[in-house]
Structure 1
């Protein structure tokens, strides 16, 4: 079952907004600023990267590398678009394209937790859709009566094995064989 375009776009949009929100929040937490053009470019990049993977259920193994790669690209994009003065750039946790160890650890934790959160949301969404599909399939026969086979009005023939036809069934206790 392949989902329709509106469903895929909704899932892609949620992923892109979460990815963008994580990148902007981490950049702002580190002391940087993000302009509207950089946010627009980052949103478009996130949407275009997430859309091809929105046709099926995404697991942590799919979400984590995608989210991590996008966070690296967004970090570079926001760092290049950083419009602060050189004095304000010194207060930023990193003063260039290469982040410090603290920023790498913070990004790693944030990416890991966000990937787990998104994967859990995916599992809940797809589980709900499966339950709804089963419920609809259960309710469908009560709404539409389609006979799958003609009802049988005669008794079916009884099949007996030729070997068992000649077996004598001795009911009761076993016979005692006397030897004299």
Structure 2
């Protein structure tokens, strides 16, 4: 199971907007292809109906079953909204829809089911890809943050440097070392 990660509000809004546009487009186009009409007022309401639950659920990564249930609920709400719009338009004499009424036919239920299943699979893969990229980006940003931090603050404390003791044997204490430049004290004495 993937790790639970919370999303900031801009990311939540962007994800909810994508969900709302996909769900509205799916429901609206299917409704128009079936002979219905989607007026501007209904479109704005439909996008809000899709956006609100998506925004509430967009705080972390969602599984396929949650996406399916959310899509099914929004599609049912959109169907009721568009059917009510068609009933009002029919009463006013503006439009004719072959499936007038709030109860969908068997064919319409099958089409809604296929649309929900395919869109949910597509959105689930997108959800997995998005969160995978965000986790990788977080790891890389953390590495950059650690590397760019003050290097002195992260170095272990060092022991103070001491000159190593010069070891002389008692047997060779009388010997003069004539190798190298003369020492300053001996140079004046010679």
Q: State yes or no: 1:35 paired with 2:35.
A: no
Q: Which residue in the other structure is 1:81 paired with?
A: 85
1:140-179 map, 5 Å: 140-144=145-149, 145=151, 146-147=153-154, 149-151=156-158
Q: State yes or no: 1:24 paired with 2:28.
A: yes
Q: Which residue in the other structure is 1:177 paired with?
A: none
C-alpha distance in 1 between matches for 2:84 and 2:61: 34
Structure 1 pair 21–132 and aligned structure 2 pair: CA distance change class (3 A): same
1:128-154 Cα shifts (integer Å, max 9, x gaps):
01111111122223211241643578x
CA contact (8 A) 2:23 2:71 kept: yes
Structure 1 unaligned regions, length at least 5 = 154-180
Q: Which residue in the other structure is 1:96 paired with?
A: 101
**Structure ID, larger Rg:** 2
Question: Structure with the greater relative contact order (CA < 8 A, sep ≥ 6): 1 or 2?
Answer: 1
Q: Which residue in the other structure is 1:165 paired with?
A: none
Structure 1 pair 41–86 and aligned structure 2 pair: CA distance change class (3 A): closer
Q: State yes or no: 1:13 paired with 2:13.
A: no
Query: Structure 2 length as normaliser, TM-score?
Result: 0.73
C-alpha distance in 2 between matches for 1:26 and 1:148: 63
**Distance apart, 1:7 and its partner CA:** 1.1
1:53-110 Cα shifts (integer Å, max 9, x gaps):
0110112111100110110111010000012449833xx2x23111111111111000
RMSD: 2.1
How many residue pairs get aligned? The number is 151
Q: State yes or no: 1:109 paired with 2:114.
A: yes
Structure 2 unaligned regions, length at least 5 = 161-190
Which runs of at least 4 in structure 1 moved beyond 6 Å after TM superposition?
none
C-alpha distance in 1 between matches for 2:49 and 2:107: 26
1:65-80 map, 5 Å: 65-80=69-84
